[in-house]
Each structure stands twice: as C-alpha cells, then as structure tokens.
Amino acid sequence: MIPFQTAHPYFFGYGSLVNRDTHIYAPAHPATAQGWRRLWRHTALRNFAILTAVPSPGTVIDGLIAPVPNADWAALDAREFAYDRHIATPDIAHGQALPRGQPIDIAIYTIPASKHPAAKAPTPILLSYLDVVLQGYLREFGPAGAQRFFDTTDGWETPILNDRAAPLYPRAKTLSPDETAFIDDHLARLQSEIIPA
C-alpha cells in the first residue's frame, strides 16, 4: 500500500482527473464523495458543456484523490480555471489509513450556477472529453464504476459532439476497442443524439 503524503493537501477528481494519464499528481487513491452528483453545465464561457459536481444529499460519486505538493495549486487552478476550489474533506471517504494526528485537507472543484453567464442554448458534450473521463473510470472502477458515472451524472439529454477524429479536448487520449465499445453502447442506451464535429 502506498501511504498518504500527509504534509500536502489533496484534490478529489470526479471527471478527467480520474484518468491518471491527464495529470502528474501521485500517489492517487480511489475515494468517494458523499452528498454529491455530477451535472453537465452550460455556460457562455465555452461552446461545449462542462462537467461539474453539485450537492445531492444521499448520492455518492466515485473519484480519485491525489496530493498537491506543498499546496502549490497554481497549475491545477490554471487547468480548472472555470471552477471554484473549496475544501470538502468531511464529504470524502477513502480506504487509506492515516497516522494519528495527521489530517489532510481535500478540495473539490465545482462550477456554481452563478459563476458564469448561462449559455443562450444548450451546448454539446465533447465526445473526446467524455472518452477521457470514462477511460479513467473503466481503469479505476471497472465497467460497474463507469456505469455508476452515467447513473450519478445529470444532463444526458445534451447532444454529444463526435470530435474523435479531430479531438477538441486538449488532453484527449486513444481508447482501446473495448473502451470505445463500452462508451458507444451506453450512449446508445441513453439514446443520446450524436452530432458531427
């Protein structure tokens, strides 16, 4: 077991940060956030939907926590510039034992509804982004965990922009055939509208 680095604060990732190939923060540990669920938010900031977490009593979401060395949040805050960062330590559960007297702070990034002007019309979900997120969930939590991602995320009536051939998401990754099939099958079950890029 890799021990916690208790001298540093942690973040809880519930989207692309679950995919370890998109960041350098380690060691990462599976965790859950109690009282949260995900939502596709539509803002005037971007022309595609942004995944956020919103309070939801009784709902639990899977994710990863990882340390931010020396509380140097600059790089992560720049990556998550559309979000607010706040401490959510009481909501986060993990299976790692901590030495007595060495608590850690765990932050979560969210986009409050009032943070950005609302989009004039719903914006699509980037398939290249969704691919990265679900690749992370499949690797960390298996098919059941990836299914829980769908089940604990709202806003699937939003069209999906198929940009796989020329990804618009800057941290896009190549999927295995099995990963691609899993995602495509679940979007088909949701009867998602797929639109060309």
Residues 136, 16: contact at Cβ < 8 Å?
yes
- Identify the bridge partners of residue 107 per DSSP, sorted by sequence position: 11, 87
Give the pLDDT of residue 3. 56
- What is the helix, strand, coil percentage profile of the chain, to 5? 30, 30, 40
pTM of the model: 0.93
Residues 6+ apart with CB under 8 A from 14: 33, 36, 38, 51, 53, 61, 62, 63, 108
Give the pLDDT of residue 1. 42
Can you tell me the distance from the alpha carbon of 108 to that of 92, in angstroms, rounded to the nearest whole number? 10
* Per-residue pLDDT in tens (0 to 9) along the chain, 197 residues: 455 556 789 999 999 999 999 999 999 999 999 999 999 999 999 999 999 999 999 999 999 999 999 899 999 999 999 999 999 999 999 876 555 556 689 999 999 999 999 999 999 999 999 999 999 999 999 999 999 999 999 999 999 999 999 999 999 999 999 999 999 999 999 999 999 99
Can you tell me the distance from the alpha carbon of 82 to that of 48, in angstroms, rounded to the nearest whole number? 13
pLDDT in tens, 126-154: 999 999 999 999 999 999 999 999 999 99
- Give the closest residue to 54 by CA, choosing from 89, 20, 17, 14: 14
The answer as to CATH 3.40.50.300 being correct for domain 10-196 is no
Can you tell me the distance from the alpha carbon of 157 to that of 180, in angstroms, rounded to the nearest whole number? 20
